[in-house]
Amino acid sequence: MEKYVKRFDPVAFAKSEAERFSRERRRWRLGLLSSVAKRSLLAAQGVIRPLPKEA
């Protein structure tokens, strides 16, 4: 393990970075979708006015 830490492996680093980035983006997209769904649900219930672009 120590020898792996000392020697920088760009391939493994790039792989882990790409994985982390895709995970963050997926979480962000899910959050965005859920917020849009919540807003449209509230608008359908008449709680809030829908945004002009959604109307």
Nearest one of 32, 52, 50, 30 to 40, comparing CA atoms: 50
Q: How much is the pLDDT for 37?
A: 84
Q: How much is the pLDDT for 19?
A: 92
Q: How much is the pLDDT for 35?
A: 87
Q: How much is the pLDDT for 2?
A: 58
pTM to 2 decimals?
0.41
Strand, helix or coil for residue 48:
coil
Contact call for residues 8 and 2 (beta carbons, < 8 A):
no
For 2-45, the pLDDT digits (tens) are 565 567 788 888 899 999 999 998 888 888 888 888 888 888 78
Task: List the domain boundaries for the chain.
Answer: 2-44
